[in-house]
Amino acid sequence: MTPTFKGRSILSINDFSTEDIIEVLEAAKRMEASKDKGSLLHGKIMASLFFEPSTRTRLSFEAAMHGLGGSVVGFADSGVSSVKKGETLADTTKMVERYADVIVVRHPLDGAVRLMAECTQKPVINGGDGANQHPTQTLLDLYTIKKCQGRITDLHIAMVGDLKYGRTVHSLAMALAKFKCRLSFVSPSQLRMPSQYLDALRSQGTSFEEFGKIEDVIGDADILYMTRIQRERFPDVDEYNKVKDAYILHKGMLENVRSNLRILHPLPRVNEINTDVDGTPYAHYFEQAANGIPVRQALLALVLGAKL
Amino acid sequence: MTPQRPYKVYAIADGVVIDHIPAMRALQVLEILGVHHEDQPVDAIVTLGMNMESSKRGRKDIVKIEHKELSKAELNKIALIAPEATVNIIRESIVAEKFKIAIPAVFDGVVQCPNQNCVTNHEPAKTRFLTLATKPVMVKCHHCERVVWQDEIRLLGPR
């Protein structure tokens, strides 16, 4: 049965079945190819409620809506909203639903967007809730992988960096497990993938291994998904200094890689991918960011029931 | 092996006996049931046995409360503290009903999320936890998706 997205909130990748994910990726492909979508959401209003700062997510959602002929209202900083006056999230939601057809939210508290979705009949899209979920990032990562590799199944995907606190790698690993990919986790011992996710992968029969160095996996990977290691995650600066250089990718490390290797990063990067990698055929992170537009356009159209 | 020591508690004509509570958790059960509150019937006897010998599990706690009926909400809370407890409903001095505590699929307004950054600890919202496993109990916060093991579970206080 074709999944029905009309009116549905997009809150967590864990709410998505395999069929749901495939439907979104196919809709994003149609969206990207379409030359005739400029008024698909004409007359529709998207509320863009960013309770904490974001560059890529907010701009790409707003650009996505404008590109489909819809309009955008909202705020990019909770300091200017009535939240500062003590309004509850429930009241904010009940007010905003009267102004908009779809509500996009980023919020610093885990679970805040699901709570808001429970207060309205209008579809709510999670643009990131604290350390919990960022489902549109996961979907655009999956779309990017499928687009650059020609498939999403049976790939070897290596994730590098802060695997303990990084919500993007948690969600992506869970989603890739649905597609029989082989996963490699490369991190310092302090920042390993949490056992709750490893247990979930084991119970699904997903093949995975943990490593300490990028060199252990790079020759055999189809996708290298880089993330930033933040100094503040280490209680001791010396500990940080010991490990940080091992997780910096530079051009010299790309000599014996597969020709189809693509390097992804959710951005912003600081120094974990040296700029000398940018000019190689393997660098794919800016294309990945660009894919945020068709994926978010697909989601907006699906939840608003627009046919492409 | 030490011989089993005899013990005697008052028989009750009407009320509830909660048996097979994990050792040293009976006080938590009484806390859930609010039997230490002053609004309990003044003539009700409450018997508490802690760290008693049990042939099945070594040590156990047991509570007997006269003139008490358990609500569904109370049973759900006890399930989190004592998932293997047995409940005996006593009417007219006989065991009218006996059943094992069942772990519900969903806990609404029972558990406090241990994640300090969870929205339910900051906004007026009823918590909801979904049961992932029962032995041992493992639940997941419906809002922040934090998985919580039995030992970490904290119940919400009275609101």
Q: DSSP characters for A142-193?
A: HHHHHHHHS-SSS-EEEEES-TTT-HHHHHHHHHHGGGT-EEEEE--GGGPP
Q: State yes or no: pLDDT of A74 exceeds 90.
A: yes
- Provide the terminal-to-terminal Cα distance of chain A, rounded to the nearest Å: 19
For residue A305, name the pLDDT band (cuts at 50, 70, 90): very high
Tell me what the mean pLDDT of segment A66-79 comes to. 91
Q: Which residue has the tokens 């890529």?
A: A56
Q: State yes or no: pLDDT of A61 exceeds 90.
A: yes
Per-residue pLDDT at B9: 64
Residues from B contacting A (CB-CB < 8 Å) are 115, 117-120, 122-125, 141-147
Amino acid residing at B136: P
Q: Which of A8, A106, A114, A122 is catalytic?
A: A106
Contact B141 A111 (CB under 8 A): yes
Tell me what the mean pLDDT of segment A203-222 comes to. 96
Catalytic residue list contains A134:
yes
Q: Which domains does chain B have, with CATH numbers?
A: 15-100 (3.30.70.140), 106-155 (2.30.30.20)
Contact B123 A196 (CB under 8 A): no
Task: Report DSSP state, residue A140.
Answer: H
Per-residue pLDDT at B159: 45
Least confident of A25-39, A85-99, A213-227, A239-253: A239-253
Per-residue pLDDT at B139: 95
Q: What is the pTM of this model?
A: 0.89
Q: Which long-range contacts (CB under 8 A, 24 or more apart) does A281-287 make?
A: A282/A224, A282/A254, A282/A257, A284/A144, A284/A148, A285/A226, A287/A144, A287/A148
For B34-60, the pLDDT digits (tens) are: 776 666 666 788 889 999 998 877 999
Per-chain mean pLDDT for chain A: 94
Q: A interface mutation test: which of B115, B117, B148 has the most A CBs within 10 A?
A: B117
Answer yes or no: same fold for A13-133+292-303 and A136-289: yes
CA–CA separation, A57 vs A241, rounded Å? 31
For residue B76, name the pLDDT band (cuts at 50, 70, 90): confident
Per-residue pLDDT at A216: 95
Residue of A nearest to B115 (CA): A110
CA–CA separation, B43 vs B38, rounded Å? 12
Q: Which of A29, A56, A180, A233 is catalytic?
A: A56
For B83-111, the pLDDT digits (tens) are: 889 999 999 999 999 999 989 999 999 99
Amino acid residing at A175: A
Q: State yes or no: pLDDT of A196 exceeds 70.
A: yes
Per-residue pLDDT at B12: 84
Q: Where are the domains of chain A?
A: 13-133+292-303, 136-289
Q: State yes or no: pLDDT of A169 exceeds 80.
A: yes
CB–CB contacts below 8 A, A to B: 52
Nearest Cα of chain A lies from the Cα of B155 at a distance, in angstroms, of 19
Return the C-alpha torsion angle A121, A293, A155, A174, nearest 10. Answer: -30
Least confident of A180-184, A207-211, A217-221, B71-75: B71-75
Residue of A nearest to B147 (CA): A196
Is the distance from CB of A197 to CB of A169 less than 8 angstroms?
no
Contact B143 A114 (CB under 8 A): yes
- Name the CATH code of domain A13-133+292-303 (choices 3.40.1260.10, 3.40.50.1370, 3.60.40.10, 1.10.10.60): 3.40.50.1370
Q: State yes or no: pLDDT of A192 exceeds 50.
A: yes
Q: State yes or no: pLDDT of A1 exceeds 60.
A: no
> Quick one: what percent of chain B has pLDDT higher than 90?
53
3-state secondary structure of B102: coil
ipTM for this model: 0.90
Q: State yes or no: pLDDT of B135 exceeds 60.
A: yes
Topology, domain A136-289: Rossmann fold (3.40.50)
Per-chain mean pLDDT for chain B: 87
Burial of B42 (0-12, 13-18, 19+ CB in 10 A): exposed
Structure tokens at B132: 């992932």
For A41-54, the pLDDT digits (tens) are: 999 999 999 999 88
Residues of A whose CB is below 8 A from B120:
111, 115
